[in-house]
Structures are given as C-alpha cells and as structure tokens.
Amino acid sequence: MTTPQTSRGKIPRDLENDYTFETAAARRAFLAEQTGVALEHVSQYSFDPSILPGNVEHFTGVAQVPIGIAGPLLVDGEHARGEFYVPMATVEGTLVASYNRGMKMLREAGGVKTTILDDAMQRAPAFVFDDARQARAFGEWLTEHFTEIKQAAEATTRSGRLRGIEQYSASRILFTRFDYTTGDAAGQNLTGKATAAACAWITSNYDGITNFYLESNFATDKKSSQVNILRTRGKRVVAEATLPAALIEKHMHTTGERLFRARQVSNLGGFMSGVNNNGAHSANGIAALFIATGQDAANVAESSAALGFSELLGNGDYYGSITIPSLIVATYGGGTGLATQRECLELLGCYGTGKVRKLAEIVAATVLCGELSLGSAIVAEEWVRAHDRLGRNRP
C-alpha cells in the first residue's frame, strides 16, 4: 500500500503552549474538517487544560465515563478503616449493582479485612555478556556494589527507595529486577529514571557488558506474568472475610457449600485453561476504580491477576479471600490530580501523600465484594437450573 494521494493533514500543535482551550479547539476544528465529525460532547470539560502537561499530548477534549457509586463498603484494614462510598467509572450495566450487593452482604458480615503483604515497583534491565561465566561474575559484582548502585539510583528521586536487586540468569544474559518502594506514586517513571541512573553508574564502572537494555520483559509493565504473581509488582494485597451461612442464604440465595463446590470446579478449570486469575472478575472493579481515581488503566493488565482461596467451615460458614499480587495504584502523581479524578480520591479520603496503602486496601476490599457477588450469582443459577430440571414434569 502506498501513501494515499489525498493524504490527510498533520494534527495542529502549538509549540509554545499546547495545553490551552484554543489549541484543543483548533484540533477539534481540524478533525471536523478532515473527517466531517464534530466532537461536541468531547469538548465539554470543566477544567483548565493547563493542568494537563505530563498527562496527555495533543489534548483535544475528554471522554465522559459515567460514574456509579457503590457502598457503603466496610473495610477493616490497617490503613483504610470504616465505611466508604466507592466511585466506579464504567459503561457496563450491572457492574455497580453487583459490587453494591456484595458490599451490602459483607457489611453485615462485619466488613472486609485487608492486609498489604508487600510493596515493590521495578524496572528490569538485562545485561548481556560474552559468555555465561561473565554474566555470573557480573551478578556477584552487582551484589557487592549494591550500596553504590542504590546511591546512584536514589540520587534521582525524592520518594523512591531501592529495596534490592533480584537476579535471574539464562544463557549469557543476566536479567535483573530493581525493586523500589515509591511512596504514594505508582512509580513506573521514577523507577525508570532511577534505574537508568543506576545503570549509567554500572556501565561506567564495569567492563565487559556487551549490551544492556533498560527493560527486557522481567518487570513486566502493562502485562501479566508469573514472576509478578510470585514476587509482587505494586502492592500485594489480601482481602478476606468469613460469611455466616445465614447471610449467604439471605443475600445470595444459595449456600456456602454450593459456593465452595463451584470454586473447586472453577479452580480446576482455571488451572487447565492457564488463567492468570482463578477468581471471578477482579478486572471489573479494578478498571472502574482505576478510571474514576486517575490510575493508569493500562495497568489493569497486571493488576487483574489474582489468587482466590476459599474454605468451607464446619458450621456452613464460608471463608473467602482474594490476593492481588500486582496492584498498581497511586494517590500522588499521574492522573490523580486531575479534576474529577481528584474528587473521587477525596471521596475515599485518599488524595495526596500517605494515602496509597489506604487506597490499595479499598480496591482489594471492593474486589472481594465483587468476587462473592458474582460467584453467588453463578451458583444461584445452578440452583435455579437444578430446580428446574429436577422439578419438571416429564411425560
């Protein structure tokens, strides 16, 4: 295919200040001229575009994503304590209702207990050598020089701290994971910058590196991976609760035993299908909360990995838990300070510094409510069907 003759034009850009009402309008006018489509709703936004540098380029308007509110969600966390109204930005019907139903039941059950198990954001440079022995020697050197490397990395950041460097070797390559804590930021950018600085120090002080790559599929940013399920990316959070048998019957019209039996089958299904999440649908709650609160929605890729685990207790009560091993959230930086996004964070009492763990706990608690709600819906279906089948009048 060759470039069409009636080639389309270049998107207008103001080299001095591209973040104004005027440049946005100019781009919309340009698009209308080129395509015949007027972006009227897209043009309706309530903030000054001057807040947008660092968030978007070629700003032209906004997507208006409906927000529904679920709650109150009762959280028994270490950082989030009490009841919350949860803003969920979504275009999928029943999503808010389903989470809301789960929140109602879990509130009666005493709330969702949440625990942050780990916290690590990484960049994962790879270093290539002439042979495997040199890669191994470099790995030893890396361990010995951790202090200097940490210093070089941390010189570039106020809030990032280099916790450690994981090493994974194959062939003549050493793959590493530089693990940081990143305060209230999600931290992909600061870890990128810090690791680049660390690698500059490394390559200046170590001979024999044939090639190095700042990233080589070991981080694994915007992707789901076993290494992140095992070793954490962002926050590793658990939400857990025990549902009394009576509550399950009342709210979910089923029993703990049925819930549990269904989990067994879907665990086997997930193991066989090679799924990255043996739970129900954590991505729904996570995506809705991410969009509402200004998180990076692309991180749904890794944040949607989950480990469900349940137990049927002797008395018919049901213990349910979900572990999110790579939940990437921020209450500072990124999209958190934008107009609607900041309001939604404030609604949760999660805007600004010192709040990121609280937000992580609220997300996890929300997810658990959705897991139990959808899990029950599938099982109640079973019950309806079984009833239908068993009760039918066969000639």
Nearest to 275 by CA among 224, 233, 232: 224
Q: Which position among 14, 40, 92, 144 bears the catalytic label?
A: 92
List the Cα angle 180/123/284 in 5-degree steps. 85
Phi, psi of 354 (to 5 degrees): 75, 15
Encoded tokens for 216: 């080589």
| Gap between the Cα atoms of 201 and 24, Å rounded | 42
Q: Residue 377: in which H helix or E strand, if any?
A: helix 356-391
Q: How far is CA 336 from CA 41, 88, 302, 355, 359, in A?
A: 23, 15, 19, 12, 12
Residue 267 falls in which region: left (phi positive, over 0), alpha (psi -120 to 50) or beta: alpha
Q: Residue 188: in which H helix or E strand, if any?
A: helix 188-205
| Gap between the Cα atoms of 279 and 368, Å rounded | 10
Active site residue 92: yes
Contact 106, 241 (CB under 8 A): yes
Task: Report in angstroms how near the CB of residue 141 gets to a second copy at its nearest.
Answer: 15
| Gap between the Cα atoms of 242 and 351, Å rounded | 30
Beta bridge partners, 310, equal 320
| Gap between the Cα atoms of 287 and 89, Å rounded | 8
Nearest to 69 by CA among 84, 87, 56, 82: 87
Active site residue 257: no
Nearest to 380 by CA among 290, 253, 287, 288: 253
Contact 176, 198 (CB under 8 A): no
* b/e 72-83 (16+ beta carbons within 10 angstroms → b): bbbbbbebbeee
Q: Which position among 179, 296, 361, 371 bears the catalytic label?
A: 296
| Gap between the Cα atoms of 162 and 190, Å rounded | 11
Q: At 131, is the secondary structure helix, strand, or coil? A: coil
Catalytic residue numbers, as ranges: 92, 296, 387
